[in-house]
Amino acid sequence: MHRALLERQVRELFQQQLLGVLATNTGALIAEPYVSLIAFAATGDLSQLIFLTSRSTRKFNNIMNNSQVSMLIDNRTNQAGDFQTALAVTVLGRAVEQHGTEKVSLQELFLARHPELESFALDASSALLAILVNRYILVSRFQQIDELVMGSTV
pLDDT at residue 152 above 80? no
Domain locations along the chain = 3-149
Q: Are the CB atoms for 72 and 88 separated by under 8 Å? A: yes
- Number of neighbours of residue 102 by Cβ within 10 angstroms: 13
Residues 6+ away with beta carbon under 8 Å from 23: 33, 34, 35, 69, 70, 71, 72
pLDDT at residue 153 above 70? no
pLDDT for 1 equals 62
Regarding pTM above 0.85, the answer is: yes
CATH code assigned to 3-149: 2.30.110.10
